[in-house]
Amino acid sequence: MRKFLSFALCALLCCCWTTQAEIFTSISQMTDLIYTEKELVQSLGEYIKAEESKLSAIKSWANKLDALTRLSTSDPEGYLAHPVNAYKLMKRLNTEWSELEILVLQNPSEGFISNMSIHRQFFPDEEDEKGAAKALMRLQDTYQLDSEAFSKGKLPGIYSNVMLTVEDCFDMGKTAYNDADYYHSVLWMQQSLKQLDAGEETEVAKGDILDYLSYSVYQMGDLPRAIELTRRLVAIDPSHQRAGGNLRYFEGLLTKQLSELNQEDYPPPSEEPIQLGTYIRPKDHLPERDVYEALCRGEGLGMNDVRRSHLYCRYQDRNRNPRLLLKPIKEEDEWDSPRIVRYLDVLSHEETERIKQLAKPRLARATVRDPKTGVLTTANYRVSKR
């Protein structure tokens, strides 16, 4: 489970593509956004209090004047017959209404807007959001998780109350769709549709989900289901711009396939809901991908009780190194072949934080060597900083 947590943290927070300063390829730099958001929330709270105070003052003044004008308009001549009332009317119109005008024109949002403008330059952009979405898809592939697990926050070793809404799932599907990744588009659009059909409130239209889902299913080669989904779309929105044309195209394509196979009819679409495993994930251009995904899942490692019995914890003084005699290093065997050793409590927390503080300004995007040119360059599958 430790492997999953480690990989999940790495994939989610070290995932985003290059931006102006590539801030979002580093966990340590992304943590700054946590405090930035907290500061903005505090600033927003101060703005709300200022607006409430302003509205409260205006409301109090309006209530007072409402009662006064009801009295004055009931008998204007009688009201003005009293010299004090005449004086106070002149004073209100000359002074107090001007003061109210100044109050109304005050803009308590200036401080909040100024704070937003300062921090906005460090905000993630569309590419960063796209990178974060792709990180979830990589986790989904690596640990063979369905979209519902993410949507409900139920991941192996992690449980969170943070859930994905219909709109979140829809945006995930759109990210994949726009990248011609129809495999993941199907999974996330299907999850979005499932949550919508379950009654979750959303501003996402069912027709939009069916539009993306039907075409993505077609791209996965499932014509019968693509036709069934498109018919559902036409039933919801007969005037849909693409639905009618897509339906005629899909039906014509299926008729042509049946003719080539000398068949009169096609099998009905599967009644089983689309889920992980319904379609085969396209092959990746990285040949090592299947291997490292299996390794992350702990497959084929072959650790047994006999091998595990030879893994030890020990104190290590490096052949009686004077610096380690009084405080030897804590050494723990993690694996036997190849030998992997973990060292514990080598640095204090303060020392670790100081090293991170010194290293943070020097972080740079990790690079790979281009096999064609031999030049070091960035790659979208290696997005950490070092």
pLDDT in tens, 284-302: 767 778 888 888 887 877 7
With 0.75 as the threshold, say if the pTM is over it.
Answer: no
Q: What does the pLDDT average to over 318-330? A: 87
**Mean pLDDT over residues 9-36, rounded?**
56
- Res. 17 pLDDT band, cuts 50 70 90: very low
Least confident among 7-11, 26-30, 97-101: 7-11
Residue 112 has pLDDT above 70, yes or no: yes
101-111: per-residue pLDDT in tens?
A: 988 888 888 88
Q: What pLDDT is recorded for position 379?
A: 67
Question: What letter would DSSP give residue 283?
Answer: P
Question: Mean pLDDT throughout 252-275?
Answer: 79
Highest-confidence range of 155-164, 222-231, 266-275, 376-385, by mean pLDDT?
222-231
Which neighbouring-strand residues pair with 313?
332
Contact yes or no for 316/332 (Cβ under 8 A): no
- Can you give the pLDDT at residue 271? 74
pLDDT value, residue 58: 93
How far apart, in whole angstroms, are the C-alpha atoms of residue 331 and residue 318? 11
Instruction: Quote the tokens at residue 140.
Output: 């989904």
Q: How far, in Å, CA of 52 to CA of 373, rounded?
A: 62
Contacts of 344 (CB under 8 A, 6+ apart): 329, 330, 331, 332
E strand or H helix at 341: strand 340-344
Q: pLDDT value at position 26?
A: 62
Q: What is the mean pLDDT of residues 129-158?
A: 85
- What are the tokens at 10? 């790495």
Q: How confident is the model at residue 10 (pLDDT cuts 50, 70, 90)?
A: very low
Q: How confident is the model at residue 323 (pLDDT cuts 50, 70, 90)?
A: confident
Q: Residue 261: is it exposed, middle or buried by C-beta count within 10 angstroms (0-12/13-18/19+)? A: exposed
Please give the share of the chain, as a percent, with pLDDT higher than 70.
Answer: 89
Residue 328 vs residues 88, 160, 314, 325, 348: alpha-carbon distances, Å: 88, 40, 9, 6, 14
Q: pLDDT (tens digit, 9 = 90+) per residue, 60-75? A: 999 999 998 999 999 9
Tell me which of 165 and 365 has the higher pLDDT: 165
- pLDDT at position 357 is 86
> What's the pLDDT at 383?
60
- Which residue do the tokens 């004047």 mark? 65
Least confident of 57-61, 153-157, 198-202: 153-157
Which pLDDT score is estimated for 297? Answer: 82
% of the chain exceeding 90 in pLDDT? 34
